[in-house]
């Protein structure tokens, strides 16, 4: 009888535990499944009505594809869009149209090459072009590369949609001399547009280029591009905060020179308004180890009457010409205080032909709040902070002077006390990809 009682008690305990586990499982939210794409949809011509691209398909952009005025293209998280190489595919979002490409940290939206892993190259396709109605200082304003679609207007708060958790890989083509489509081209994009968590990798021209407009952006990554990383022209006046630039020392634009920042008011350095007056904060510019290609120039090149300002940022690497360079047409803007450098730390390796600071004197630079010219070692970056062969280690060491190297930022920015793109949080985690060459983007059978 005792044996039976013990057996009965054991059976009842097991049933209770099973029921508890079942109840627990019933109340647990299921993990979201990764989207599986099994079909390729070829996209050509115009998108004239509201359209949604879903993650169970892939989309091949063939030739120039236009989202027309009045239409909205919505792209679901996890969707993969590829650019056709032979037709130099590119996606244009016209004035009055919208793109709503909102991914997540675990399911980013990816624009990439249609070539197989191991065979992808910069310039495999055109790129993403967003055109809005915000002010520019060029008339008529026709977008580079394509050469016929206009942008710009009088609506500073114009809304072209949203990009969030988006990667753009192996894009950027020079269709003619000085007529390029960049990885992400923005012409007259207004402040109603949201751009956040966007990575441009292995671009065949500039990574991000703003032609006028007022759009703000946060959390941008430029990885191993060809020409410039942040290029500002024709009256761009937005705020850009948190940016990481990593350059491959062997890869530079042979048709000109390559810089981290390049900024002009316009091609002739005139006083046309609105004047290029963008503000950048918390940017890290780094170059991988190795001898830089001779076509590299400066970590930041401010020229042609630009009045951009840079705050709480760090420039490092073996830039062969200089670190921060302000050219003659922009020098009066620095003198009168419309062009500002504050909380800027320059720590270069190698030898610079024109020194760490060019155009203004070292004393003028040092007079800016919390500016410094330092050694790379003194800034206490983590090992692998400038890696081009693996995910960069981005968080400064606990005693790094960068963590307290920031100055007070202008209105509109998130307040930070540190210099560079990171303090104690890696905002690239999960969604960014530092090895897109070997990523499997094939359809699933």
pLDDT tier at 17, thresholds 50, 70, 90: very low
Comparing 23-27, 148-152, 375-379, 434-438, which segment has the lowest mean pLDDT?
A: 23-27
| pLDDT at residue 177 in the model | 72
Per-residue pLDDT of 107-163, as tens digits, reads 999 999 999 999 999 999 999 999 999 999 999 999 999 999 999 999 999 999 999
Contact 183, 231 (CB under 8 A): no
Angstrom distance (rounded) from CA 161 to CA 185: 14
Residue 18 pLDDT more than 70? no
Q: How confident is the model at residue 73 (pLDDT cuts 50, 70, 90)?
A: very high
Dist. CA 330–CA 338, nearest whole Å? 10
Angstrom distance (rounded) from CA 430 to CA 298: 31
> Can you name the residues that pair with 51 across neighbouring β-strands?
73
- Whether residue 65 is predicted with pLDDT greater than 70 in this model: the reply is yes
pLDDT for the residue 180 = 85
Which residue did the predictor score with more confidence, 311 or 6?
311
Q: Identify the three-state secondary structure at position 342.
A: strand
| Rounded CA separation 352/382 (Å) | 24
The Cα 2–Cα 171 span in angstroms is 77
**pLDDT band (50, 70, 90) for residue 2:** very low
Mean of per-residue pLDDT scores for the chain: 93
Q: Is the pLDDT score of 200 beyond 80?
A: yes
pLDDT score for 34: 66
DSSP tag of 83: E
Query: When comparing pLDDT for 31 and 79, which is higher?
Result: 79
User: Mind listing the pLDDT tens digit for each residue in 345-373?
Assistant: 999 999 999 999 999 999 999 999 999 99
Lowest-pLDDT choice from 32-36, 75-79, 94-98, 192-196 = 32-36
* Per-residue pLDDT at 9 exceeds 80: no
How much is the average pLDDT of 325-329? 97
The whole-number pLDDT of residue 33 equals: 59
279 pLDDT more than 50: yes
- DSSP string over 171-193: --EEEETTEEE-SEEEES--TTS
pLDDT at 7 over 70: no
* Residue 28 pLDDT > 80: no
Please check the confidence at residue 24 and state whether its pLDDT lies above 60.
Answer: no
Please give the pLDDT value at position 175.
Answer: 80
Please say if the pLDDT value at position 209 is more than 60: yes
How open is the CA angle 82-86-92, to the nearest 5 degrees?
50
């Amino acid at each position: 009888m005792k044996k039976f009682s013990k057996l009965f008690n054991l059976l009842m305990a097991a049933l209770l535990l099973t029921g508890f586990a079942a109840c627990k499982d019933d109340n647990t939210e299921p993990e979201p499944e990764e989207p599986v794409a099994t079909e390729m949809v070829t996209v050509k011509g115009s998108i004239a009505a509201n359209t949604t691209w879903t993650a169970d398909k892939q989309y091949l952009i063939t030739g120039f594809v236009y989202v027309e005025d009045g239409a909205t293209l919505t792209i679901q998280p996890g969707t993969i869009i590829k650019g056709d190489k032979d037709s130099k595919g590119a996606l244009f979002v016209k004035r009055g149209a919208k793109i709503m490409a909102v991914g997540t940290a675990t399911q980013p939206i990816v624009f990439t090459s249609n070539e197989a892993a191991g065979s992808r190259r910069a310039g495999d396709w055109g790129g993403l072009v967003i055109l809005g109605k915000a002010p520019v200082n060029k008339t008529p304003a026709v977008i580079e590369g394509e050469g016929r679609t206009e942008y710009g207007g009088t609506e500073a708060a114009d809304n072209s949609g949203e990009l969030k958790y988006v990667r753009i890989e192996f894009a950027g083509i020079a269709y003619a001399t000085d007529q390029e489509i960049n990885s992400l081209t923005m012409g007259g994009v207004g402040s109603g547009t949201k751009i956040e968590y966007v990575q441009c990798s292995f671009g065949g021209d500039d990574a991000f280029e703003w032609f006028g407009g007022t759009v703000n952006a946060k959390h941008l990554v430029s990885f191993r591009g060809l020409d410039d990383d942040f290029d500002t022209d024709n009256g761009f006046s937005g705020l850009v905060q948190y940016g990481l630039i990593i350059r491959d020392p062997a890869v530079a634009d042979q048709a000109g020179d390559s810089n981290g920042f390049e900024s002009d008011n316009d091609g002739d350095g005139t006083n046309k308004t609105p004047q290029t007056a963008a503000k950048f904060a918390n940017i890290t510019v780094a170059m991988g180890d190795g001898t830089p290609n001779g076509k590299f120039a400066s970590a930041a090149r401010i020229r042609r009457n630009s009045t951009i300002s840079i705050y709480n940022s760090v420039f490092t690497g073996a830039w062969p010409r200089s670190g921060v360079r302000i050219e003659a047409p922009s020098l009066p803007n620095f003198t009168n205080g419309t062009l500002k450098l504050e909380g800027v730390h320059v720590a270069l390796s190698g030898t610079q032909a024109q020194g760490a600071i060019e155009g203004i004197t070292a004393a003028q630079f040092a007079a800016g709040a919390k500016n410094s010219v330092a050694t790379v070692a003194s800034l206490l970056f983590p090992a692998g902070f400038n890696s081009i062969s693996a995910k960069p280690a981005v968080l400064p060491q606990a005693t790094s002077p960068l963590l307290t190297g920031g100055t007070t930022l202008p209105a509109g920015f998130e307040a930070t006390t540190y210099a560079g793109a990171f303090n104690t949080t890696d905002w690239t985690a999960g969604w960014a990809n530092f090895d897109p060459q070997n990523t499997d983007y094939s359809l699933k059978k």
